[in-house]
């Protein structure tokens, strides 16, 4: 961290030397003790070096390209009076600050940091606590939000905000952030070409990550744990989802990943572990599910409504209570060469592929769909018996729904 | 009573059936753990076995022992010993040796696997405790049946029927009533129906610790509140204790009126 | 002393004892006789508390026996069928019974008397019927009880053992013990019994000495006397 800060300083100084910009030192005992005042005095491309201490300021408007650099993590305390930092100019960098006590309002979405219609912003290494909204990007472009820690204490959805919100944004990188205790961890609405990488979104009230009407985005290597629900992707196109971990999204109607009205996507190399539902799919077509792990979920995959031409290949289904739930008798999706830990077939020709097909939909899962209370009979002998009879001669479940070539060993190469 | 227990227990410890039972669990434990190498899968398989097989074995073993030790019983009846001591002593002898076979048979492989150093030890402990309870319950029920039926074949038939009823048929009726009554709130009903059958109760208790707690959220507030809490665990264990005590109590009362 | 008052017992619809009353006091050997199904075994088992009477009162040495167990310390019982837990050895069985009765026992004396030494370490399931009966006898006479109840004691015994049994019974008789014996062997009755108790249809049909029995039936031979008794009126 020190090395990082040092290099940042060196770069800052180089920048300052080449552009002949100057550095303003702000500290509680200095001549310059107010950030707001420092911004007024500074010229474009100057650097404000903010030293350790607490600054009781809010509504700080940065209206020229500046770099605000915290030294030994200074604290900006908004005293719950409103928004704290608003970026109204291009090329603004914020780094190494701690921001607290954002005002809560039912009419205005106060944020710790807001960017309004600007480009080339960089928000790095900021600690945020006691928030309404965390980072709010409004029609912003080509910026980055990296390495921030956003900790809220949301209890109800109606009076809490999102950790990182992107609204009508383009080409923004969101990486290595930690968001917890907010409404949605990361929320995208009408935002395109956003890259979301290696974030951790945990213990948020609603979703860990939420897409609405956003296209050509990607999220990779993120971890979503113990949220109301993991990730919801709704009404969006061409979203790349790879190498994420969805864990412990427990509870009524909770899920690891929800796909609603999503077409043409690839979901690969993800891990779904101990969720009530691993992936819940509604009205989504032509999606490829490759090399994902589904382990210890209530339902690994729940298919609702019309879903066509989806392919599930080389996934591992490990000890889920139900591998698959289907609410219709029609099937147009393909299951090929997955590993199913519940598979009881054999491989006489030793080619690594089971000789009898696997039927992932159990009659019991069909019954539970109809009458949820029957879940209390999970794993009872009676249920195993009727599941077995359904397996032998399918009556209620789609009879072409099967993996013709189930793997005998789990897929290890998940690259 | 303790003396009779001691002799029944010794008697069983010499019979090869106790060893068969013990070796069966030992082999099962080792096979599950060392060939499978997947603890959670092993525990689930184990649960299926405990919930289904333990009651069956308890029933059959109990009824067989009762009928086979009739001479011994008659010998004891003429001695200055309290009647209830004779039957309770024999009962605890059988149930004790069965439980011991179960605990050791499964405990040894799991201990060898290093389970007691891992976090799963409580889940596994619950599994064993439930298994022991089921042994106590079904042995007591089978003793009751045997006491009421001098005809061995009849008694044996009733005992197997009882097992079938509690392990399979009950759940079928349960499912049927849930589906038929699906328009009504069923939380309390299913809660009661679960508590009323020791097999279902044990299954739910174990599943709570494994995977069902995620799914329970699905079935509504009453269930979640009940089974998700310590209170639920206590009530469930209480119901198991009740299920154990009632047939034992009935055995003690009923044996006083029996002619030999 | 054993008192039985108005004893009734039904098994299902079958009334086995119908108001049986009996009093035997002091020492002596009482042979309980009667045709098959007359209630001999039921009477004995009622006294032992193995059968629970529907009605009536039984006292052993003045103590009511219903639902009690302590009085059985005064009784030693020889069951008719000598079936024992098969996987115990003879000495284990004897030790166990001694342990369960918690009374002084003359174990070695009886083992020697019935020649059981060679069998002590054998499993009971491997013994012949006669040997088992000897174990049965040893088990019964091991305890110095005021009352002995023997159900068909001669079953399967070889002549030598039979002689020892008779000697043992006489010995205990001389010590003032009370015997209730059921048997079908009339010679045994003739040799040993002080009194005969004859049961018929769940009641006492005759109770008295052998002499009285002979006089009443006019038969000299006990076997014939017994056979003749049931054809006569009770108070003829």
pLDDT tens-digit series, residues C27-37: 888 988 888 87
For the ranges A183-192, C14-23, C121-130, the one whose mean pLDDT is highest: A183-192
Helix/strand/coil for A35: helix
Per the CB < 8 A criterion, the answer to whether A262 and A268 are in contact is no
Q: What is the pLDDT of residues A287-330, one digit of tens each?
A: 999 999 999 888 899 988 788 889 999 999 988 888 998 877 77
Query: Do A and C make contact, counting contact as 3+ CB pairs within 8 angstroms?
Result: no
Exposure letters C94-126 (e unless 16+ CB within 10 A, then b): bebbbebbeeebebeebbebbebeebeeebbee
Q: Per residue in B230-258, pLDDT tens?
A: 777 788 888 999 999 999 999 988 888 88
pLDDT at A14 over 70: no
Q: Span A1-227: which CATH code?
A: 2.160.20.10
- Tell me the whole-structure pTM to 2 decimals: 0.78
- The complex's ipTM works out to 0.81
pLDDT value at C67 more than 50: yes
Residue A19, both tokens: 């552009």
Residues 294-323 on A with a CB inside 8 Å of B are 296-298, 319, 321
Q: Are A316 and A296 in contact (CB under 8 A)?
A: no
pLDDT at C176: 87
Q: What is the mean pLDDT of residues C218-232?
A: 77
Report DSSP state, residue A318: E
In contact, C30 and C197? CB cutoff 8 Å? yes
If we measure between CA atoms, which residue out of B108, B115, B130, B126 comes closest to residue B27? Answer: B108
The residue ranges of every structural domain in chain A are: 1-227
User: Measured between CB atoms, does B121 come within 8 Å of chain A?
Assistant: no
Give tens-digit pLDDT for B179-203: 888 788 777 788 888 889 999 888 8
| Burial track B227-255 (b if 16+ CB lie within 10 A, e otherwise) | beeeebbebbbebbeebbeebbeebbebb
Asked whether residue B116 carries a pLDDT value surpassing 60, the answer given is yes
Chain B residues lying within 8 Å of A253, measured CB to CB:
218
Element (H, E) at B96: helix B83-113
Q: Which fold has domain C2-83+146-229?
A: Rossmann fold (3.40.50)
Chain B contact probe: residue of C100, C104, C143, C144 with most B CBs at under 10 A: C100
Distance CA A204, CA A176 (A): 17
For B3, which of C69, C73, C99 is closest by C-beta distance?
A: C99
pLDDT for C236 beyond 50: no
Q: Is pLDDT above 80 for A252? A: no
Is the alpha carbon torsion for A33, A39, A43, A49 positive or negative?
positive
Chain A hits for B204, CB-CB cut-off 8 Å, are 376
Query: Which of A380, A388, A389, A390 to mutate to probe the B interface, most B CBs <10 Å?
Result: A380
C12 to chain B, closest Cα gap in Å: 12
Phi/psi of residue B52, nearest 5 degrees: -100, -50
Note the pLDDT tens digit of each residue in A193-224.
999 999 999 999 999 999 999 999 999 999 99
């Amino acid at each position: 961290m020190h090395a990082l800060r040092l290099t940042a300083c060196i770069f800052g100084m180089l920048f300052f030397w080449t552009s002949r910009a100057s550095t303003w030192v702000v500290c509680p005992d200095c001549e310059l003790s107010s950030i707001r005042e420092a911004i007024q005095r500074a010229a474009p491309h100057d650097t404000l070096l903010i030293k350790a201490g607490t600054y009781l300021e809010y509504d700080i408007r940065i209206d020229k390209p500046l770099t605000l650099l915290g030294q030994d993590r200074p604290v900006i305390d908004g005293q719950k009076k409103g928004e704290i930092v608003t970026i109204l100019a291009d090329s603004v960098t914020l780094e190494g600050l701690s921001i607290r006590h954002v005002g809560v309002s039912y009419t205005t979405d106060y944020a710790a940091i807001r960017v309004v219609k600007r480009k080339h912003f960089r928000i790095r290494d900021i600690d945020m606590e006691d928030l309404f909204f965390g980072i709010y990007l409004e029609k912003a472009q080509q910026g980055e939000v990296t390495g921030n820690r956003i900790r809220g204490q949301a209890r109800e959805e109606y009076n809490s905000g999102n950790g990182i919100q992107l609204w009508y944004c383009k080409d923004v990188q969101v990486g290595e952030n930690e968001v917890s205790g907010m409404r949605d961890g990361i929320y995208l609405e009408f935002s395109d070409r956003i890259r979301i990488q290696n974030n951790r979104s945990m213990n948020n009230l609603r979703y860990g990550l939420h897409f609405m009407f956003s296209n050509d985005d990607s999220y990779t290597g993120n971890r979503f744990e113990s949220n109301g629900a993991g990730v919801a992707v709704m009404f969006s196109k061409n979203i790349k989802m790879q190498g994420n971990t969805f864990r412990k999204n427990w509870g009524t109607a909770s899920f690891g990943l929800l796909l609603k009205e999503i077409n043409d996507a690839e979901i690969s190399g993800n891990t779904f572990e101990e969720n009530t539902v691993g992936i819940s799919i509604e009205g989504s077509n032509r999606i490829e599910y490759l090399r994902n792990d589904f382990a210890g979920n209530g339902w690994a995959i729940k298919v609702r409504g019309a879903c066509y031409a989806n392919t599930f290949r080389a996934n591992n289904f490990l000890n889920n209570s139900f591998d698959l739930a289907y609410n219709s008798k029609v099937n147009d999706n393909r299951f090929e060469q997955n590993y199913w830990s519940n598979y009881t077939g054999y491989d006489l020709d030793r080619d690594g592929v089971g000789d009898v097909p696997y039927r992932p939909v159990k009659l019991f899962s069909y019954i539970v769909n109809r009458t949820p209370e029957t879940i209390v009979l999970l794993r009872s002998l009676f249920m195993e018996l009727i599941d077995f009879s359904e397996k032998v001669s399918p009556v209620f479940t789609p009879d072409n729904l099967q993996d013709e070539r189930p793997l005998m060993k789990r897929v290890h190469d998940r690259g | 009573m303790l003396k009779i227990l001691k002799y029944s227990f010794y008697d069983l410890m010499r019979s090869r059936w106790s060893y068969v039972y013990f070796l069966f669990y030992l082999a099962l434990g080792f096979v599950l753990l060392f060939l499978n190498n997947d603890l959670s899968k092993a525990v689930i398989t184990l649960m299926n076995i405990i919930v289904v097989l333990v009651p069956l074995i308890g029933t059959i073993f109990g009824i067989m022992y009762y009928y086979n030790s009739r001479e011994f019983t008659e010998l004891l009846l003429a001695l200055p010993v309290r009647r209830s001591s004779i039957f309770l002593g024999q009962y605890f002898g059988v149930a004790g040796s069965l439980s011991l076979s179960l605990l050791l048979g499964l405990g040894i492989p799991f201990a060898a696997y290093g389970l007691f150093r891992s976090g799963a030890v409580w889940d596994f402990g619950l599994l064993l405790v439930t298994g022991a309870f089921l042994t106590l319950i079904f042995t007591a029920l089978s003793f009751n049946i045997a006491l009421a039926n001098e005809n061995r074949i009849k008694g044996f038939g009733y005992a197997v029927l009882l097992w079938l009823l509690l392990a399979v048929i009950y759940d079928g009726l349960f499912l049927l009533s849930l589906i038929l009554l699906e328009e009504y709130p069923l939380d309390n009903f299913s809660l009661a129906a679960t508590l009323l059958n020791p097999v279902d109760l044990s299954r739910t208790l174990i599943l709570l610790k494994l995977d069902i707690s995620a799914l329970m959220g699905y079935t509504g507030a009453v269930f979640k509140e009940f089974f998700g809490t310590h209170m639920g665990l206590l009530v469930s264990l209480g119901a198991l204790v009740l299920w154990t005590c009632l047939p034992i109590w009935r055995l003690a009362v009923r044996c006083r009126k029996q002619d030999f | 002393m054993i008192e039985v008052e108005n004893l009734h017992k039904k098994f299902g619809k079958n009334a086995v004892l119908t108001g049986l009353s009996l009093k035997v006091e002091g020492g002596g050997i009482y042979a309980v006789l009667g045709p098959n199904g007359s209630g001999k075994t039921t009477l004995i088992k009622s006294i032992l508390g193995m059968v629970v009477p529907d009605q009536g009162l039984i006292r052993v040495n003045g103590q009511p026996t219903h639902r009690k167990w302590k009085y059985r310390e005064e009784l030693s019982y020889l069951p008719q069928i000598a079936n024992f837990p098969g996987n115990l050895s003879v000495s284990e069985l004897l030790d166990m019974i001694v342990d369960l009765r918690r009374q002084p026992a003359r174990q070695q004396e009886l083992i020697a008397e019935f020649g059981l030494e060679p069998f002590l370490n054998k499993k009971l399931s491997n013994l012949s019927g006669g040997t088992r009966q000897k174990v049965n006898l040893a088990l019964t006479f091991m305890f110095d009880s005021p009352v002995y109840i023997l159900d068909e004691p001669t079953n399967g015994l070889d002549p030598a053992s039979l002689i020892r049994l008779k000697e043992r019974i006489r010995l205990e008789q001389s010590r003032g013990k009370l015997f209730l014996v059921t048997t079908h062997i009339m010679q045994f009755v003739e040799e040993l019994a002080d009194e005969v108790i004859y049961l018929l249809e769940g009641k006492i049909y005759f109770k008295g000495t052998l002499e009285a029995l002979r006089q009443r039936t006019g038969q000299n031979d006990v076997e014939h006397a017994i056979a003749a008794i049931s054809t006569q009126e009770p108070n003829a």
